[in-house]
Amino acid sequence: MKKILVILTGGTIGSRIEEHIINVSDKSPYQLLAMYEEEYGVENFDVIQPINVLSENMTPDLWLQLFRAIKKIDVNNYDGIIVTHGSDTLSYTAAFMGMLFHDMPVPVVLVASNYPLGQKGSNGLSNFANAVCLIREHIVRGVFVVYQDNAGINQVYLATRITEADPLCDQFGDFAKIPFGRMENGHLKINESEFLPTLSQVNERCGKEFEIPCELSGNVLAIRPYPGLDYSMFDLSKKPAAVLHYLYHSATACANSENKGYEMLSFAEKCKESGIDFYTASHKSPEGNRYVTGDALLKAGVTPLYNISFEAAYAKIVLGYHQKNKVIGGKLQKDIYFETVGAKNMLNL
């Protein structure tokens, strides 16, 4: 039996409480391993810690440090890799890692914790223990997140499908509304749905679209719509490489020309005139009916991304624009690691 590599990055799962303040420290990350050994016995781990940060403080530079550390690993020495991470930006890091490392011959599993270890109701140790079980089963490869929900179900998410936790109950979502599977008594139980890939499809997904870039910056402007969004407040003098404008659930945004300053089309045209590529997501199927406002967006010449979460769309565009040979425009519509929800896309037809 080979070792499991544990990559510590900080976050709540690697924090402790001192005078009611939760923060990372040099010693607290290893508390998880000590608690695991006490509860489950000795396991064969190797441990590295390329970064130590609360995940809300994650930056592109820190992402790059993490990705480079993983790239250096000789995976032939391990049965799998566990990455401990803060919950705030877990869904973003997962999306990046799903697109970069899904071709690994061993599973890569991200875990977090809702509360600091040892605090009542903390699920950090359970998440970590179930990640160990997932790896030791030797039945799946790819990139996943294991996280126990408030009902006590140990959910297993595809890395490019998990969505940000809600601020009230600290519960993550799945863009397809059904996670890939769950851990029951130490075993992976895969959910069945037309919107989920099968086990064989996950294990066979090997195509490499993105390489770890030489540098990673925040040069993609990502926007979420809300009533009253005044586009004149955006200063394009720094000239982002691209804009990602997420849409309402109906694949719409304000497109009424009478709403001066509040409608998106003028802003999209301004970006176009400045040489800034403009992407919108998440669009429904290109066939079928659509709202007049959504139709106006497509007719304006934006590049649509279909059936994709905000996090996955952001990760895909950022990585695409940082490749040596840029992957941009319609090329970004290609499904990389099941981030595009829909049976045809998952089969790459």
What are 25-58's pLDDT values in tens digits? Answer: 666 567 888 889 999 998 999 999 999 998 999 9
State the residue range of the domain holding 224.
Answer: 220-333
Domain match, 32 and 134 both: yes
| DSSP, res 251 | S
- The torsion of the CA quartet 184, 188, 194, 198, rounded to 10 degrees, works out to -170
For 139-168, b/e burial (b = at least 16 CB within 10 A) is: ebbbbbbbbbbeeeebbbbbbbbbbbbeee
Is 131 inside any structural domain? yes
Query: In the predicted model, is pLDDT for residue 177 greater than 80?
Result: yes
Mean pLDDT over all residues of the chain? 91
Number of domains in the chain: 2
Instruction: Collapse the DSSP code of 232 into the 3-class scheme (helix H, G, I; strand E, B; otherwise coil) and give the result.
Output: helix
pLDDT tier at 18 (50, 70, 90 boundaries)?
low
% pLDDT > 90, the chain: 76
Is 54 inside any structural domain? yes
pLDDT tens digits, one per residue of 72-107? 999 999 999 999 999 999 999 999 999 999 999 999
Q: What is the DSSP string of 37-81?
A: HHHH----EEEE-S--B-GGG--HHHHHHHHHHHHT--GGGEEEE
Query: In the predicted model, is pLDDT for residue 287 greater than 60?
Result: yes
The pLDDT of residue 343 is 42
Question: Residue 313 in contact with residue 275, Cβ under 8 Å?
Answer: no
3-state DSSP: the chain helix, strand, coil percent, rounded to 5? Answer: 30, 20, 50
Domain match, 177 and 241 both: no
Instruction: Give the pair of three-digit tokens for residue 206.
Output: 């090997």
Is 347 inside any structural domain? no
Domain boundary among 178, 204, 230: 204
* Distant-in-sequence, close-in-space partners of 281: CB < 8 Å, separation ≥ 6: 244, 245, 246, 247, 304, 305, 306, 308, 310, 313
Domain match, 70 and 111 both: yes
Q: Give the CATH number for residue 60.
A: 3.40.50.1170
The pLDDT of residue 29 is 61
Domain match, 49 and 112 both: yes
Rounded CA separation 322/133 (Å): 35
Q: What is the DSSP string of 103-116?
A: T-SSEEEEE--SS-
Domain match, 133 and 178 both: yes
Domain match, 194 and 280 both: no
pLDDT tier at 1 (50, 70, 90 boundaries)?
confident
Domain match, 199 and 226 both: no
pLDDT tier at 286 (50, 70, 90 boundaries)?
confident
Query: In the predicted model, is pLDDT for residue 310 greater than 70?
Result: yes
Instruction: Give the pair of three-digit tokens for residue 122.
Output: 């903390």
Q: Which residues pair with 23 in a beta bridge?
A: 16
Domain match, 24 and 154 both: yes
* Distant-in-sequence, close-in-space partners of 14: CB < 8 Å, separation ≥ 6: 8, 24, 28, 29, 31, 32, 52, 84
At 4, phi and psi to the nearest 5? -110, 130
Top pLDDT among 221 and 120 is at 221
Is 194 inside any structural domain? yes
The pLDDT of residue 289 is 83
Is 345 inside any structural domain? no
The stretch 103-118 carries a mean pLDDT of 93
The stretch 184-202 carries a mean pLDDT of 96
Is 346 inside any structural domain? no
The stretch 311-319 carries a mean pLDDT of 98
